[in-house]
Each structure stands twice: as structure tokens, then as C-alpha cells.
Chain A
Amino acid sequence: MNELVLILLTVFSALVFPGLLTLWIASMLSEWWVRKLFARTQRRMGPSYVGPLGILQPFADFLKLLLVKTEPNYKYGSVRLARVFGCIGLGALTASLFLLPISPVRIAFNYDVILFIYFLGVWVAVSELLMFTSLTNPFTIKGVSRFSSILVVAEPAFFTATIVPVYLVSLVMKKEPVFSISTTAETVWGLWTNPLTAIPMLLATIASLISIQSKLMFSPFNIPEAEQELIAGVETEFSGPLLALFNFLHDADLYVLSLVVTFLFLGGPHPFSNNLVLGVLTIILKYLIVLTTITVLKSSFGRFRIEQGISTIIKYAFIPALIALILSIVVASFT
């Protein structure tokens, strides 16, 4: 293909769809859904005034924090470092979207699940960690220590849970390129219909949902930003545009992780893979199911203590994912 057209298409994909602009819109809408549903479970109204059903509330919050409020000066830390790593986290999320089937410029190669995990899991986690640490405050540092402790168990759990469908698609259904996210996203529905592979898939889905819940610091894992216990934990010193950036990063993380669950575990646009409109609607429907599950989990539990949280992640996310992986190896050796 023409080099210039490719570069333009890449820039378009990076900045418009599914890049920064789409990321922003989708993240804000996801935040709205979570906030509205969470409020309704608590018999509150939730966002109601800005836009129909309050759908534009997160946009308004973001724009107010960015444009109207001012950035804090901080004596003991570096606001610039927080800014830089916030933006790098967003860049990493954008780059990881290129590996999913929704991008106009699609990249797929053997074992690209590893690159995916490193962009989505490791880069975003490191950016968030550095963003938190850069504003030195005793409460922030306590939150950082809790956050990194959770990350140590949640990242391997998420990795293992992601490897399960990828492994099954590569070795049981034998699709090329092997161990690739795009291939898995396109063929994963076949795994649910086969009872041998459906059990590992179920375990892996549960594991991935719990590890996502902990990575996003949603209740019962809202330990790093333990409100009132640690003032606001990791978010204590964020205010103004920095808070807007962090909220954007957090919501974008929610968006991409839920999109990953939609594609890898729920099958994406299946059964309407060939129809554009119906396919998109199916994706949105499945995505909203994932968001609803996350919100229901969020509203059903109180906050865990840190050691309870870590043992819960190990018991209900890491061990099931490992069992699913071992079952997949057994299944793959028979076929």
C-alpha cells in the first residue's frame, strides 16, 4: 500500500478512531454508565441534569477540571512527571487498541498477546504508579504501596486469564497467526460451544473480571484510594487538570479492559460478524453487559483490607486462571 496513505491512516487511527478522540468519548460514556447504574443501585439519581439522563455529565466534569480549574503547584514533588506519565499511559492504551480487530490499521503477529499485555498491563500500571508517586504525601505513598501490592498479584492473574482463550484458539482450533489477540477475537465463540473448552473459558472469564476489578481499584478492591481511610489515598493530591487527566486515564483503562473482555471472552460481534450495524450493536450490548457486571460487583461489596484483597485475588482470580490453563493444556493434548 502507498506509504503516505498508510502513515495518514495510522495517524488517523491513533488520534481519531479508535485513538484519542474515540477513547475520550467512549471513556466518558463508560464512566456515565457506571456512575448512573451505581447510583441507581443505591436509590440515588446519579447524573441527571447535563444532557439527557445526565449522559454528558462526565464530559462536563472533565472540561471543567481541565479548562476552569488550575493546576496545583506542589513543593515536594514534580507535577511535570505526573503530567508526562499520565499522557504516556493514554498513549499506551491507544497503541494497544491497534491489536484489537476494531482498528482500521490492524497489527497481528505470532504471540502478539505478549505485546498486548505489556502495553495494556505493564505500561499503564507503571504510568499510574509514577503518576501517584510523583506527588509525595504520606497518604499518597500509603496508597502507592497498596496499589503496587495489588498489582503484583493482579497482573499475573490477568495475564494467565488472557492466555487461556488465546492458547485454546491456537492449539485446539489451530488458527493462524498463532497466539494473537485478533485471531482469538474472531474465533472465540467456537470455544463456548464445545463443552470441553467451555469450562476453562468460564473459569478464565471469572478470573479476568476479578483481576480487572482489582486493577481498576473498584470496590471491593478500592484499597489504594481508600476514601476517608487514607483521605483519598492515591488521589489525594490530584486536583484541577491533573485530576481530569487521571480520571481520563482511569476511565480509558476501564474502557479498554472491558473491550478486551468483550472481544476475548464474549466473542465480540458474533453472531453478526459480517453485518456492520448489527455487529456494532452486538459489541455495544456485550460491552454494556461487562460494565454492568463490574458495577454490580462494585455496589455489592464493602472494602477489603489489603491482605484480604490480595488473598481474594489469589483465590478467586489467579488460582482459577491457573486451573483453566492446566485444563486447556490437557484438552489441547487430546486434540
Chain B
Amino acid sequence: MTSLNLDPWTATLFLSSVLVLSSLVMYLIYVSLSRKTIQTSSEYSEPYIGGESVTAIRSVDVSVRNLFWGIVRGAGRRLYTFLRDQMHNGVLNDWGVYMVTYIGLLVLVALIYFTR
């Protein structure tokens, strides 16, 4: 039972080498014990879409836009309508409002601090 007294950097590198070692060993075990399929039909290598053929859907991949709808359109819908559609709508006047508010706040803080 040895306790190694390492600084954080060396300890992280040590544990990363343990990661590499274990994954390598696992990979070798996996590759040596598993076998690849001998292709018998072309259907075997196609994605499983509930029994349909690949031509039944428009594409095998999903559009990037639909990737996180659980957050963007589900749980975080209010957050995203505010962030994407109201804050970052590209209207320069809104940019100006944010920036001027910020500098007003800074100058106000500076002046109030020294007139107290």
C-alpha cells in the first residue's frame, strides 16, 4: 500500500499513462478475441431503421439543427428564445443598448465611488 506524493501535474500525467495502458490492454484483448462478420448480404451492413430499407428515409444522418432539441426546444426553450431570438437578433440598436448600458454602469460606479 504505497502513497505516491506527486504534484498535480505529474500525477495527472501518471494517471493518463495508466489510462493509455489500460485502454491499450483492453483493446488488444478485444481485438484478439472478437471476430468480424463474413459478409453474406448487403442488408447486413445497413442501418436498422425498424425493418425499412434505407431508401424509405431521406437520409441516414440527422440534420445538425435537430441535434439537441431536448434542450433547445424542450427544457430550455424560454432560455433560447431569449438568447437567440431576442438578444442576438442582429439589430445594431440593441447592441448599442447593451454596450451603452455597460459603459454607463462602469462610469457610474467610478463616479459614485469617489463622490461618497
The interface residues of chain B lying within 8 Å CB-to-CB of A66 are 30, 33-34
Contacts of A106 in B (CB 8 A): 1-4
Smallest Cβ-Cβ distance to B59: which chain A residue: A138
Q: Is A119 in contact with B22, judged by CB distance below 8 angstroms?
A: no
A residues in contact with B35, CB < 8 Å: 70-71, 241
Which B residues are in CB contact (< 8 Å) with A149? 68, 70-71, 74-75
Report how far A130 CA is from B106 CA in the complex, Å. 45
Closest residue on chain A to residue B4 by CB atoms: A107
B82 part of interface (Cβ distance < 8 Å) = no
* A4 within 8 Å of B (CB atoms): no
By a CB distance below 8 angstroms, the chain A residues around B3 are 106-108
Q: Which of the segments A87-95, A159-167, A190-198 contacts the partner chain?
A: A87-95
Contact partner, A1, options B2, B14, B16, B44, Cβ 8 Å: B2
* Docked pose: A323 CA to B70 CA in angstroms: 26
Contact yes or no, B2 A9, CB < 8 A: yes
B27 x A74 contact (CB < 8 A):
no
From residue B50, how far is it (CB to closest CB) to chain A in Å?
6
Q: Is the interface of A mostly helix, strand, loop or mixed?
A: helix
| Cα–Cα distance between A112 and B15 once the two chains are bound (Å) | 11
On whether the beta carbons of B8 and A115 are closer than 8 Å, the reply is yes
B60-83 near A? 1/0 per residue, CB < 8 Å: 111000111111001110000000
The 8 A CB mask of A229-253 against B (1 = contact, 0 = none) is 0010000110011000100000000
A104 and B30 contact, CB distance less than 8 A:
no
Which of chain A's residues has its CB closest to B46's CB?
Answer: A75
Also in contact, A141 and B62, with CB within 8 A (given A71-B37, A149-B68, A152-B71): yes
In the complex formed, the residue of B with least CB distance to A99 is: B15
Report if B104 contacts A (CB, 8 A): no
- Residue B105 interfacial (CB < 8 Å): no
Q: Does B111 interact with chain A (Cβ within 8 Å)?
A: no
Rounded to whole Å, the gap between the CB of B22 and the closest CB of chain A is 4
Taking the complex as formed, is A171 at the interface, i.e. its CB lies under 8 A from any CB of chain B? no
Asked whether any CB of chain A lies closer than 8 Å to the CB of B12, the reply is yes
User: CB-nearest residue of chain A relative to B66?
Assistant: A145
Cα distance A104–B20 in the bound complex, in angstroms: 19
Residues of B within 8 A of A (CB): 1-8, 11-12, 14-16, 18-27, 30-31, 33-39, 44-50, 57, 60-62, 66-71, 74-76
* Interchain residue pairs A-B with the least CB separation, the first 3: A91-B23, A241-B34, A149-B70
Q: List 16 A-B contacts (CB under 8 A).
A: A19-B22, A67-B34, A72-B44, A73-B36, A74-B45, A76-B46, A91-B22, A92-B23, A94-B18, A109-B5, A123-B19, A136-B61, A137-B47, A144-B67, A237-B47, A310-B70
